[in-house]
Amino acid sequence: MIVSLIISNDSIKMNPPYEITPEILKLITSISEKIGEINATYLNKPSPTLRKQNKIKTIHSSLKIEGNSLTEEQITALLEKKRVIGPKKDVLEVLNAIEIYESLNQYNPNSEKSFLKAHQHLMKNLIDDAGKYRKQGVGIVKGSKVEHLAPPFGNVAYLMKDLFKYLKNSEEIELIKSCVFHYEMEFIHPFLDGNGRMGRLWQTLILMEKYPIFEFLPFETMISNDQEKYYKALAQSDKSGKSTKFIEYMLNVIDASINKLLDFNNRNLTEKDRLEYFISLNKNEFSRKDYMDIFKDISSSTASRDLKRGLELNFFEKIGEKNKTKYKIITGHNNGNRCTSL
């Protein structure tokens, strides 16, 4: 890791080098505007089904990049505590990842101790030194060519300490800091295994602290679909000695991922789409106004038709009359399992 030095009377601060290019500024503006649009709609409070689906996509994509062979269907089965047939290592990787992604809030993105704890959970029973920095030299080899030679293992501890100091103390915005951390961590390659998935996990955690939407935004899918661009961006940043190219790449990935989420919001929803989404929010009792507060772009007559259809489908029952009318979800319809269209 090449570092820039900022010298003061009190201390020497070591900051990872990068430049803020016009492309980066353009992407930050685009992402910020889209996050604002999401926060202004019901998408900032995703249904349990949407959370589950995106958790599965995140786990599948992040592990697929590392060579895991399990499908989304098999990961769904493991999430539902069902048995699957597959390579023991692949199954164990998924089970560990499920444990991590079901308890993201227990990890502090600014804490090195939390970082090591997450690696311990992620690599449990997969490597001997889970949760510990490597004690030997490593390099990334493609074919017969060494693509990246990581810093000596004796430097890892202080390089990671400096990186967490940057993360904790830098006044840079989270969109930039998360990309810088992701790149620098991959450059340092602090572990014998699990570096890629830890880099992607920690970027998610850094972003979640500022933007909760990232808890269920599976940008790993975009990386998995075109892994060559991911590795190319890492290599370009290695060659230049700064993370600028990787920042541009990751911001493009995030921007595209948010676009996909907004595509759902902007499509024409059917009454059944709306009903199933609303039911998945686990509101046991509600009024027509509550329904319209979620779907702000529909008329009162459309809301009434939706609710009438919901009664016909036995999604809920009607309580009271006229202005005092309420609707109560019928047991079995409020667990999020019906919302398959999201």
CATH of the domain at 288: 1.10.10
Query: What's the pLDDT at 2?
Result: 43
pLDDT band at 267 (very low <50, low <70, confident <90, very high): low
pLDDT band for position 5 (50/70/90)? very low
Predicted TM-score (pTM) of this structure: 0.76
72 vs 336, residue with greater confidence: 72
- Which residue among 266, 295, 315 closes a domain? 266
How many structural domains compose the chain? 2
Query: Is residue 4 predicted with pLDDT exceeding 80?
Result: no
Residue 340: predicted pLDDT: 33
- For residue 157, what pLDDT is reported? 96
Q: Label residue 14 by pLDDT band (50, 70, 90).
A: low
* Domain identity same for 117 and 229: yes
- Specify the amino acid at residue 110: N
Quick one: 154 and 223 in the same domain? Answer: yes
* Distance (Å) of CA 55 to CA 52, 199, 295: 5, 17, 25
- Confidence at residue 52, expressed as pLDDT on a 0 to 100 scale: 81
pLDDT of 213: 84
One domain, residues 52 and 194: yes
* Residues spanned by the domain of 297: 271-329
Report CA torsion sign: 336, 337, 341, 342: positive
- Distance from the first to the final alpha carbon of the chain: 42
Distances (CA, A) of 325 to 227, 278, 286: 53, 17, 9
Are residues 227 and 117 part of one domain?
Answer: yes
> pLDDT tens for residues 134-143?
999 887 777 6
* Contact between residue 16 and residue 184 where contact means Cβ atoms under 8 Å apart: yes
User: How is 41-104 classified by DSSP, letter by letter?
Assistant: SGGGS--HHHHHHHHHHHHHHHHHHTT----HHHHHHHHTT----S-HHHHHHHHHHHHHHT-G
Residue 184: which pLDDT band, with cuts at 50, 70 and 90?
A: very high
What's the mean pLDDT in 289-314?
88
Same domain assignment for residues 79 and 172: yes
Residue 215, pLDDT score: 83
State the pLDDT confidence band at 217, using cuts at 50, 70 and 90. confident
Q: What is the CATH number of the domain that holds 136?
A: 1.10.3290.10
Q: What is the mean pLDDT of residues 300-306?
A: 91
335 domain residue, yes or no: no
pLDDT of 6 strictly over 50: no
Non-local CB neighbours of 7 within 8 Å, separated by 6+ positions: none
pLDDT at site 274: 82
CA 272 vs CA 18, 188, 269, 303: distances in Å: 48, 50, 8, 12
**187 and 27 Cβ atoms separated by less than 8 Å:** no
Q: What is the Cα–Cα distance from 334 to 339, expressed in whole angstroms?
A: 10
Average pLDDT of the chain, as a whole number: 86
Domain boundary among 224, 246, 266: 266
What pLDDT, in 10s, does the model give residues 25-77? 999 999 999 888 777 665 555 566 667 888 899 999 999 999 999 999 999 99
CA-based torsion, 105, 106, 112, 117: positive or negative: negative
> Residue 336 pLDDT more than 80?
no
pLDDT for 268 beyond 80: no
Q: In this predicted structure, which of 71-75, 90-94, 195-199, 316-320 has the lowest mean pLDDT?
A: 316-320
Q: Are residues 212 and 317 in the same domain?
A: no
